[in-house]
Amino acid sequence: MEQRCETLIIGGSAGSLDVLLKVLPDLKADLAFAIILVLHRKSGRDNMLTELLRSKTGLRVKELEEKEQIKATNIYIVPPNYHLLIENNRTFSLDVSEKVSFSRPSIDVTFESAAEVFREALVCLLLSGSNSDGTDGSRKVKANGGRVFVQNPISAGSPFMPQNAKEHGNIDAVLNIEEIAEFINHL
């Protein structure tokens, strides 16, 4: 039986932007779920990332806001220097507690929070990065019935993050960059 996807969360750090720029142009504009991007990036009010990603896709791209309702066909970007929590009513909650794995936003925090809300309707994808953020969250997603995929570490600019999740997390499969857009389009 095929599992549905209500939300796709993509986590990444160093090297992940390059992957997103290759994947976004090939995504269908009528996806039946939301995409949330949890990317390690510098603090600031610069919206260049949002504009750059918006120029690459037909989906609506925006930096998410506190208490905003999650809606399909949107790509939401977590603002820098905030952890993202998902509320039971499927709204966003931003948190400024301590960094996790030296990061805020933390991929682990978002994966774990979303796992409790979306359960088997959650799909997570971990891209290139240079720390272990995402590994613990991957285990929580799987324990709640969700699915976890990682970028092939061989193709990652910083392979540690997907490799660590592959070795110590609980993942469903490894995806090559050229497979990611098709994978997302068929969720």
Q: Is 130 a known active-site residue?
A: no
For residue 37, what is the enclosing H or E element? strand 34-39
Listed in order, strand segments (DSSP E) in the chain are: 7-12, 34-39, 60-63, 74-77, 83-86, 92-95, 122-126, 147-151, 173-175
Tokens standing for 181? 């857009």
Q: Which entry of 132, 133, 136, 138 is annotated as an active-site residue?
A: 133
25, 17, 22, 74: which is closest to 48 by C-alpha?
17
Q: Is 13 a known active-site residue?
A: yes
For residue 49, what is the enclosing H or E element? helix 48-54
Residue with token string 């966003």 = 92
Q: Which entry of 40, 103, 113, 138 is annotated as an active-site residue?
A: 40
Q: Is 40 a known active-site residue?
A: yes
Q: Would you name the residues annotated as active-site residues?
A: 13, 40, 133
